Structure 1
Amino acid sequence: MEENTELNPEENNNQETITRVGGMYQDWFLDYASYVILERAVPAIEDGFKPVQRRIMHSLKELDDGRYNKVANIVGHTMQYHPHGDASIGDAMVQIGQKDLLIDTQGNWGNILTGDSAAAPRYIEARISKFGLEVVYSPKITEWQLSYDGRKKEPINLPVKFPLLLAQGAEGIAVGLSTKILPHNFVELIDASIKHLKGKRFTIYPDFPTAGIMDVTNYNDGNRGGKVRVRAKISQYDKNTLVINEIPFGTNTSSLIDSILKANDKGKIKIKKIEDNTAAEVEILVHLPSGISPDKTIDALYAFTACETSISPLACVIEDNKPLFIGVSEMLRRSTDNTVQLLKQELEIQLNELEEQWHFASLERIFIENRIYRDIEEEETWEGVISAIDKGLKPHIKHLKRPVTEEDIVRLTEIRIKRISKFDIDKAQQKIDALEEDIAKVKHHLGHLIDFAIDYFTHLKKTYGEGRERKTEIRIFDDIEASKVVIRNTKLYVNRKEGFIGTSLKRDEYVCDCSDIDDIIVFTATGVMMVTKVDTKTFIGKDIIHVAVFKKKDKRTIYNMIYKDGKGGATYIKRFYVSSTTRDKEYDLTNGKSGSYVHYFSANPNGEAEVVTVFLRQVGSIKKLKWDVDFADIMIKGRNSKGNIVSKYAIKRIELKEKGVSTLKPRKIWYDETVQRLNVDGRGDLLGAFKGEDKLLIITQNGIAKTVTPELTMHFESNMIVLEKWNPKKPVSAIYYNGEKELFYVKRFLIENEGREESFISEHPDSQLEIVSTDWRPVVDVEFTKERGKERKPNMEVNIEEFISIKGINAIGNQLTKEKINQINILDPLPFEEPEEVEPKDMEVNDEENVSAENDNENNTSKKGDDGPTLFD
């Protein structure tokens, strides 16, 4: 497309110039886009600053006198360099100050935890921090340029000798591109820089000032396409209260609480009230109604609120006036290499200055010691003076490192008489010797530049690294299925005869509570099964016999069914599970013959197998009209199995004789330390095979013991030290320090109160748990403290089983020793044969069904089948 076209209309003699929109777009818009990218939104790779930040730091240095300056004054001074008004400068300065790295702040600078804004610039003050003074400025190696109006000089880039961009992070939206560099840990960046200088590999991950928990599995080195998941740190305060102590990066307590309230209003979670006690540290108390599971609510908070956020990094910087997309590791390498070059330049300037000082000090000594100043007494012209001094110096300057210039001679003439009269040759030589030592030291640093840079980074870590340890915990997250943790916020009804289910059928039979993202499984009397999404009203098919919330991949809910195979056909019995289906597709559980119908049906959430009585119709010479059928004798197969024949004759009715017990093997449960969750998929450490009544034993470092029913939604505290299947007959052995008596005590006890949380050490603030063991016959080695002037007492081996008998959990125990103890180590336990328990023979699920779920991209949830056995004539 042409930009300019000249037209000469015949009816008008005047020439007209038309500029097409395409030309305007290319000229003006691209100029604007380039300006925004280069001068406003994206930081430079050399120093990590955007232009406004660089100008603020330059102004701070110009105003620096060691005292605090009003931010309003700093903003006004910065306006000499930044042509975009005081608001943009003030906001940028507050962001730098809140990162607590380059600026010492005074006054109310806002709160990143609560989202409170800073006070007005006239009320708050700032000055450069000691760290900022050390790493940001070095005027002698800074390149300068004229400011926008040509009145002042400003730095092109500041000589930053630290990976500042990665430490502070950066975010900006330009025209056609954006940048989002996440902040990283101060100490870890220094360690990574040192590893790079040593030629070692390194890996760096973000660290947020708001702390929280982070999954960096897909961080992708901060490049495009990467993702970081961040969660709030939520723990159980008491049985009806959760406490949030750390929040995700990018949120604040106000936005977090708003998201929780919105989720509550939508029925995703159920809470009673929220208290925000945040001050210097985050503390949000979430009070739950009675009967609501704290563990499920924690998962629901992650699934439906801002307690879990996903951050997509996009590392874009400016290099050579062009945007560059680069990973954080390469960014650190370049920053470290740039720091080495800056240190080299500083050393070279320092060496040059020292050599100049040495040169003039040597000249001064020659000039005074040889009394050359007397040679100028009779000279009448300036040229004669210069010539006389030059002539007097020549015999003594062979050892100098460069020729003597006229400028050197002029400096000699400026020496005062008083200084000449008090000149001390020894002190002058000492000064020269000291300069020579300094020169040798600088030359050594230049010759060993990498070692010098490593020492520099080590100095930064030692001087400024205290209190800057990692705040954000790195952990792999488990995936939370929203359908499993959503609160049941609506009610499901069924019209069995007409074949409708839905949430609006309030005049019909109530089935169960459900959520609006649940799937419902339905069975009809003709043997048809369907899974469909919850809706206000859905037609399934007449004569519904069972309705329940569908649990995807569930092989423990077993359906027991007896059906007639078509008109005049035989009757079959089958047991099956339904783990996956295609939504809204009809599945025929019979053989598909016309006239098939279900005689008996039951849904059993834990594989129960009942006994039923079969009654035949009196037809012909049938002798046996009644007998019992035990579903436990039927193998569990997939839903497509035909089943076993019950009878070839017509059945009059089937009655439930005896309720069944579970025929499934105990469920094996593992604990995955990586995500700190239970699972049944074989990940982590096997805890054991659990039946319905089995419990987990949990013991924490603060001396708390409790038993709980294992649920896959459980959360575990970070101070947990024992997690195992609980054996009620197995004692717990503990050695603890009694803070009140200032001695170590030993105790053995059984957990007698199931489900209750109990402390087994004294409540004194200095009391602490030293050793805990769930072995049958534990043994410990006690090492005593060596007293001054005495030989160390030999170690004492203690068999805890012999040392103390089993007592109550609240007993104080027996005193271990009166001697001072250095440490206690647990040894291998003594052998013990645990009595074997005879287990009843359990039935294994025969996994012959493998039906693909074509439309299972939506969440499914679990709900125990609420219908009991259903009888049909």
Structure 2
Amino acid sequence: METKEQIIRTEYSEVMQKSYIDYAMSVIIARALPDVRDGLKPVQRRTLYDMHELGIRYDKPYRKCARIVGDTMGKYHPHGDSSIYDALVVMAQEFKKGLPLVDGHGNFGSIEGDGAAAMRYTEARLQKITQEAYLADLDKDVVDFVPNFDETEKEPEVLPVKVPNLLVNGAEGIAVGMATSIPPHNFGEVIDGVKAYMKNPDITTEEIMKYIKGPDFPTGGIVTNQDELLSIYETGIGKIKVRGKVEIEAVKGGKERLIITEIPYTMIGANIGKFLNDVYSLVETKKTNDIVDISNQSSKEGIRIVIELRKGADAQNLCNLLYKKTKLEDTFGVNMLAVADGRPETLGLVPIIRHHVKFQYELATRKYKTLLAKELDKKEIQEGLIRACDVIDLIIEILRGSRNIKDAKNCLMNGVTENIKFKTKESEKKASKLNFTERQATAILEMRLYKLIGLEVEALMDEHNTTLKNIAEYEDILTNRSTMAKVIMKELDGLKKNYSRERRTRIDNVEAAVYEEKKMEEMEVVFLMDRFGYAKTIDVAAYERNKEAADSENRYVLHCMNTGKICIFTNTGQMHLLKVVDLPFGKFRDKGQPIDNVSNYDSSKEQLIYITDLAALCTQKLLFGTKTAMLKQVDGKEFDVAKRTTAATKLADDDAVIFVAPVEENMTIVMQSAKDMFLRIAADTIPEKKKGAIGVCGMKLAAGDELTNIYALGEEEPPVVMVKDKEIALNRLHIGNRATKGVKK
């Protein structure tokens, strides 16, 4: 029989919208966000449950992580092994979790960002707290079990976690269009907060913060904005400012050093290396001259980053510089988003605890209903056995007179004496009055003879009394909410006694770090740059002693102030500003730094045309000339800008700057073209323009011709140019008009 093909016509945008929403909700609910009840993401929940099922308890030997990951992926979490192993590793890292849930054996990574070893090398087992507070009571029908992805197994919808794990361990996750970021908190404080809520469900955020003072990061550190925490915990959104702990230690020779013993939680991993690089940069860019050396001496015992200071350095001021310019003070963005009642919700501190306590009452109700049902079953059987001991001779007579178990059981339950031979009518009459329940009858038939020993009967009576006591206790718990609350709080007290620890993070109000830059002592220096582009500054006295060598060996020699700036003009029409302080200051024979390294100038892409001191330039006018013979004068004040690179002139396509020089009185310039055309004009015939202008025509060039040189003629000895082995004295050239063809030489 052929099946007809069914085609559903629908709007494409509607299909896309529905599909994307389905995908987004799947990521949000089933992957990225934790459940407010157990504070776990599905991958964490499934991994812990699988370890529980595999029997990898805290008191059993470690098992290979590859086995745990493979079993979890095959049974419960078909999303790839790396996500499962990553979750397993994080749950074992003490520097990431306030309360590690997995006991790792082997290389599980480091606080400095080193990754864990491959899963085939590492081993793991559950922590004792995980066994006691996260996975206990799973056999008491406390949570619902749902089918796994292929319906071959059952997995818990949520773990019966007895502590607010969402607060204790925090959470991080990026979903679709939303993300969660919850800091870890102190285990003991959170339990005190839960108890305070149970005693007063109307408790305010401010009142509960007397118990939960703020986040408690595994890496310690100092929270500096205590006053803002109330708003953050009220709304579930905000920014917590965290800074590392720095100790100032005196060393020999009157020097001091900074010892960083605790870091912000956000610095975990690669950010420690970035912090070290940032400190190097502060030294290289001369933001500080007080740091002599930095070394990372961290080990398994803890963080220890040592910064050596020069003698006389202001250690506290340098501390403030590190807070301002590096990750030593950072911001932890809080967004307490979790899945509550099947949908994502941003929750404050009290609502999170409210959801947790509600969940605890649900767990306790289901647990004690299950225990009560078991005790009632035991009570029924015990009562039957006690009655049986009183009429044991009659029961033995019934059993000996019965042809089969069915007849004997029928007699015990319903008093049916047919098909049973009795020794006396009196026995048959007593037997007809028996009315044991089916469970009691079965227990009697299965009872062994040694149970009739006197001591065993006494033990049975004691056991019955215990059962009656348990039944009364469980019924009291189930009917009185206050009794149930006491049971929950007693359990929490036990967990706190065994697993709480001292707070690591200090909560305080700290003023923002203020760094006072030391004012540089202003002095005149001499800027030197050799023909290879290496530049430095030396003091004036050193220059005067080596004047002849300095002038002959260097391409540029400038007198300037150490607080000033150097202007570098290039053929691309750009001007690069360079702070004199960024140049190495030292001895005359020091090599210096390539000018590329201390400025935006790139010698591989542009050619240096002219260098001058900005202070001097502001009192002058500059003359620009390009290879297409465009000329202009620009007021030097226009180059006093903040940007490190700015356009010094506007260029047409395929044009380039070939000449930049200060304008002097009675100055003339000579333009020389590739086709040996020369034109000499007076500099004062060139108009002054803005730096963003192209300029005016200085010389009419023939087709295919361009300027190769422009010479400035002043009071100095004029240059002599060789053209086809013939000397041309530039000062003897006739002064012509601008924008003419010039003369052929």
TM-score (norm 2): 0.61
Which digits, 9 at most, give the CA deviation of each residue in 1:733-763, with x for residues without a partner?
Answer: xxxxxxxxxxxxxxxxxxxxxxxxxxxxxxx
Partners of 1:489 and 1:90 lie apart in 2 by: 55
Greater C-alpha Rg: 2
Instruction: From 42, 55, 64, give the equivalent of 1:51.
Output: 42
Which digits, 9 at most, give the CA deviation of each residue in 1:12-34, with x for residues without a partner?
Answer: xxx99987652343132222211
Which digits, 9 at most, give the CA deviation of each residue in 1:415-456, with x for residues without a partner?
Answer: 234445677322221221222233333344443122222212
Q: Is the counterpart of residue 207 in structure 1 residue 207 in structure 2?
A: no
Partners of 1:164 and 1:443 lie apart in 2 by: 29
| SS of alignment partner, residue 559 of structure 2 | coil
Q: 1:456 to 1:485 in 2, by over 3 A?
A: same
Is this contact kept in 1: 2:237–2:336, CA < 8 A? no
Is this contact kept in 2: 1:367–1:393, CA < 8 A? no
**In the alignment, which residue of structure 1 is the partner of 2:360?**
339
**In the alignment, which residue of structure 2 is the partner of 1:182?**
183
**In the alignment, which residue of structure 2 is the partner of 1:67?**
61
**In the alignment, which residue of structure 1 is the partner of 2:263?**
247
Give the drift of 1:38. 1.0
**In the alignment, which residue of structure 1 is the partner of 2:239?**
227
**In the alignment, which residue of structure 2 is the partner of 1:424?**
456
Give the drift of 1:107. 2.1
Partners of 2:196 and 2:7 lie apart in 1 by: 67
**In the alignment, which residue of structure 2 is the partner of 1:193?**
194
Is this contact kept in 1: 2:217–2:505, CA < 8 A? yes
Q: Is the counterpart of residue 102 in structure 1 residue 122 in structure 2?
A: no
**In the alignment, which residue of structure 2 is the partner of 1:475?**
508
Q: Tell which deviates more after alignment, 254-263 or 323-332.
A: 254-263
Partners of 2:359 and 2:321 lie apart in 1 by: 47
Q: Tell which deviates more after alignment, 81-90 or 419-428.
A: 419-428
Q: 1:408 to 1:488 in 2, by over 3 A?
A: farther
| SS of alignment partner, residue 429 of structure 1 | helix
Is this contact kept in 1: 2:109–2:115, CA < 8 A? yes
Q: Tell which deviates more after alignment, 301-310 or 96-105.
A: 96-105
Partners of 1:232 and 1:387 lie apart in 2 by: 79
Partners of 2:465 and 2:170 lie apart in 1 by: 47
Partners of 1:294 and 1:210 lie apart in 2 by: 23
**In the alignment, which residue of structure 2 is the partner of 1:283?**
304
Which digits, 9 at most, give the CA deviation of each residue in 1:586-635, with x for residues without a partner?
Answer: xxxxxxxxxxxxxxxxxxxxxxxxxxxxxxxxxxxxxxxxxxxxxxxxxx
Instruction: From 332, 346, 353, give the equivalent of 1:311.
Output: 332
Q: Tell which deviates more after alignment, 92-101 or 35-44.
A: 92-101
Output the amino acid matched with 1:240.
Answer: E
Is this contact kept in 1: 2:264–2:328, CA < 8 A? yes
Partners of 1:463 and 1:452 lie apart in 2 by: 17
Give the drift of 1:505. 12
**In the alignment, which residue of structure 2 is the partner of 1:442?**
474
Give the drift of 1:169. 0.6
**In the alignment, which residue of structure 2 is the partner of 1:268?**
287
Is this contact kept in 1: 2:29–2:343, CA < 8 A? yes
Partners of 1:346 and 1:305 lie apart in 2 by: 52
Partners of 2:85 and 2:265 lie apart in 1 by: 22
Partners of 1:17 and 1:146 lie apart in 2 by: 31
Ranges in structure 1 where 5+ consecutive residues have no aligned partner: 1-14, 495-502, 518-535, 543-582, 585-873
**In the alignment, which residue of structure 2 is the partner of 1:373?**
395
Output the amino acid matched with 1:231.
Answer: R
Partners of 2:450 and 2:403 lie apart in 1 by: 23
Is this contact kept in 2: 1:162–1:336, CA < 8 A? no
Q: 1:409 to 1:393 in 2, by over 3 A?
A: farther
Q: 1:389 to 1:206 in 2, by over 3 A?
A: same
Output the amino acid matched with 1:96.
Answer: M
| SS of alignment partner, residue 64 of structure 1 | coil
Q: Is the counterpart of residue 26 in structure 1 residue 47 in structure 2?
A: no
Q: Tell which deviates more after alignment, 182-191 or 404-413.
A: 404-413
Higher strand share: 1
Give the drift of 1:284. 0.6
Is this contact kept in 1: 2:336–2:346, CA < 8 A? yes
Partners of 2:175 and 2:439 lie apart in 1 by: 53
Q: Is the counterpart of residue 237 in structure 1 residue 263 in structure 2?
A: no
Is this contact kept in 1: 2:337–2:346, CA < 8 A? yes
| SS of alignment partner, residue 117 of structure 2 | coil
**In the alignment, which residue of structure 2 is the partner of 1:81?**
76
**In the alignment, which residue of structure 2 is the partner of 1:120?**
118
Higher helix share: 2
Is this contact kept in 1: 2:186–2:503, CA < 8 A? yes
Q: 1:169 to 1:417 in 2, by over 3 A?
A: same
Is this contact kept in 1: 2:182–2:335, CA < 8 A? yes
Say how many residue pairs are matched: 496
Output the amino acid matched with 1:328.
Answer: L
Partners of 2:345 and 2:11 lie apart in 1 by: 32
Is this contact kept in 2: 1:263–1:305, CA < 8 A? no
Question: Equivalent pairs: percent with the same residue?
Answer: 29
Instruction: From 405, 408, 411, give the equivalent of 1:388.
Output: 411
**In the alignment, which residue of structure 2 is the partner of 1:330?**
351
| SS of alignment partner, residue 470 of structure 2 | helix
Partners of 2:490 and 2:439 lie apart in 1 by: 38
Give the drift of 1:488. 6.4
Output the amino acid matched with 1:168.
Answer: N
| SS of alignment partner, residue 364 of structure 1 | helix
Q: 1:409 to 1:52 in 2, by over 3 A?
A: same
| SS of alignment partner, residue 81 of structure 2 | helix
Output the amino acid matched with 2:105.
Answer: Q
Q: 1:505 to 1:32 in 2, by over 3 A?
A: farther
**In the alignment, which residue of structure 2 is the partner of 1:217?**
227
| SS of alignment partner, residue 322 of structure 2 | helix
TM-score (norm 1): 0.52
* Aligned CA-pair RMSD: 3.7
Give the drift of 1:269. 3.5
Partners of 1:506 and 1:194 lie apart in 2 by: 76
Partners of 2:475 and 2:32 lie apart in 1 by: 41
Is this contact kept in 2: 1:492–1:512, CA < 8 A? no
Give the drift of 1:72. 1.2
Q: 1:230 to 1:43 in 2, by over 3 A?
A: same
Give the drift of 1:51. 0.5
